[in-house]
Amino acid sequence: MANDPAIDRATAIPSSGDGDFRIACVLRHACAVLYRNFWIFLPISAIAASPNLIIFSNSYRNARFSPAYLLALFSLFVLGALSQAVLLQATLQDISGRPVLLGEALRNGLERLLPIMGVAIATTLGCILGALLLVVPALILWVRWYVAVPVCVVEHLGPIRSIDRSQELTRGYRWQISGLCLLFLIFAVIVGTMSFRLLPAPLAAIGIWVSISVASSFGAVVVILTFIELRRAKEGIGEEQVAVFDRR
């Protein structure tokens, strides 16, 4: 059993045991998870990001806040919350050595959709308020609440308790997580700028849609692995417990 591939995959992130939290370790294993499941994860993120095509199209035609634009924004919010829940569940399946079963991941994601949307609304409004004050408070809140969604999905907590739990888990490691968030921001700015400057309007929208889909897939994997590694570092969770994080 020591050489069982399923066990090797379930124990992909070595237990720190000394309170050490390593972003490089999270990124390396996130790449491995996405590589194994790229053609499963990408369509999920692409469907969730598809309302962006309508949003970009209306923006180019200066038709912002039209009914189609507002409906696309709402759809983007709901599909984004659902896709993140599905990808988080699928990632847990993968790292526990099980096959990725989208039906099971979707069912579990739908069960947690309303609490996840509650987390998304609370964190989004908080970050918007922080951005209205200054950019820095918004970034601080983003880092504090970085793992609120996986907490909500895996530990089956409500929105407020999920946010509180995320603040507890990220405490002491927020500089490392800030660096991770900064990488995503830089990537988004570079891709968005290049798409708008180098491509005509329709192709720019498609380029951004594809980029968002890839980034969303990778981001969901990174978030769940960050959550797991934080639990290892702060609570001494061992490798054998990875597969039973879901407290149902």
pLDDT of residue 71: 86
Burial group, residue 134, by CB count within 10 angstroms (0-12, 13-18, 19+): exposed
Nearest to 107 by CA among 7, 243, 246, 215: 246
pLDDT of residue 189: 76
- Residue spans of the domains in the chain: they are 22-244
pTM (predicted TM-score) = 0.83
Is 194's pLDDT higher than 90?
A: no
As a whole number, mean pLDDT of residues 222-227 equals: 93
**Which span out of 42-56, 110-124, 130-144 was modeled with the highest average pLDDT?**
110-124
**Token reading at 107:** 């069912």
Rounded to the nearest integer, the mean pLDDT of the chain is 82
Is 143's pLDDT higher than 90?
A: yes
pLDDT of residue 31: 94
Mean pLDDT is lowest, of 18-27, 45-54, 125-134, 225-234, for 18-27
pLDDT of residue 230: 92
Is 14's pLDDT higher than 90?
A: no
pLDDT of residue 162: 96
Confidence of residue 248 (pLDDT cuts 50, 70, 90): very low
pLDDT tens sequence across 56-86: 776 666 656 677 778 888 898 899 999 999 9
Give the per-residue SS3 of the chain: CCCCHHHHHHCCCCCCCCCCCCHHHHHHHHHHHHHHHHHHHHHHHHHHHCHHHHHHHHHHCCCCCCHHHHHHHHHHHHHHHHHHHHHHHHHHHHHCCCCCCHHHHHHHHHHCHHHHHHHHHHHHHHHHHHHHHCHHHHHHHHHHCCCHHHHHHHHCCCHHHHHHHHHHHHCCCHHHHHHHHHHHHHHHHHHHHHHHHHCCHHHHHHHHHHHHHHHHHHHHHHHHHHHHHHHHHHHCCCHHHHHHCCCC
